[in-house]
Amino acid sequence: MLNFKSPSRVRLDKFFQGRFPQYPKSLIKELIKKGTVTVNQRVIKKPHFVILSGDQIDFDKTEWLKTRTQIIPNPAVKIDVIYQDEDVIVINKPAGLVVHPRQIKGDQPHPNDLEKTLVSGLLAYFPEISQVGDLPRIRPGIVHRLDKDTSGVMMVAKNQNAFEHLKNQFKKRLVKKKYLAWVFGQLEGSGIIKNFIARSKSNPTKQRIVASVGRSAILKYRVIKRVARFSLVEVELITGRTHQIRVQFSHIGYPIVGDRKYAPRAVSSLASRQLLHSFSLLVNLLSGRESVFQSSYPKDFLLFENELTKQASLNQTQIKVKNQKSKVKNENKRSKMK
């Protein structure tokens, strides 16, 4: 039991933030909403509830004090394995899945992310990766990442030797990473996009293109097909910056369909996620063998393309009908003139 003594009024969540500074604010609010706190023997589920001097505060110590610093293996997070050997696992990551927990103070995983990320699934099926990597408490075995809503090929190291071998290749830009993306606009041919990227000053979760004070960002692209007002593009990443493909294509005026961060609302609302897919990864394995791993064309890409084709066909039919009507009308006019 805690006895609150203070001349001022304090919100309940602020009170617990002072006593559990290692906990994220979101976790404290979540614990209060679960009904683990009482004020004057009454359960309070509102984080913004105001406590007064003299109030008696109690909390479920089992729930509040249990260990929240270790990723929990979770077999419910299914892993689609493309290839594996004694050194690596190559997977097809689905869209909507975060790769690893967020990092908080003390290089610890965010308590809310302990069992719902890709690494929770990996630890359930491949426990040998638990001590692999440069920060295994947060990202065991993870050599590179894909954004939450980007799907496709990812490689995970099973042992430290494989991790260092792969990490060195990514660092030296020896790994060939290719993506597919549906963008808004009729892009033509092929080209290179080269500029500098830095974190946005107004929104730390976004990146922005800057004049020079940033990290070099380079990619190559070629247009595979154009349907209606959209283009399917193959992209090869030369560098691997956060959100690179998304921010660079948005910058040149061809935002990725479904991208909630970088595309205008009219474009972001056209798909349930950004239509960006890692379809090919070329790498040298620890055995010395050069290998290419690929992922098939995603179902939501196919559905989007089919809908575009259907709409384009309908538009063409409407144009033909309109032209035919106009032709008949003109013929009738000429006939009357005779």
Q: Enumerate the active-site residues.
A: 147
Q: Are 258 and 301 in contact (CB under 8 A)?
A: no
Of 58, 71, 180, nearest to 121 by C-alpha is 71
CA distance 106 to 114: 16
Of 181, 273, 198, nearest to 241 by C-alpha is 198
CA distance 102 to 27: 13
Of 71, 72, 66, 73, nearest to 23 by C-alpha is 66
Q: Are 231 and 182 in contact (CB under 8 A)?
A: yes
Beta-sheet strands, E only, within the chain: 2-3, 10-11, 37-39, 42-43, 50-51, 56-59, 81-84, 88-93, 103-104, 108-109, 151-157, 176-184, 190-199, 207-210, 215-227, 230-237, 276-284, 290-294
How far is the first Cα of the chain from the last one, in angstroms, to the nearest whole number? Answer: 103
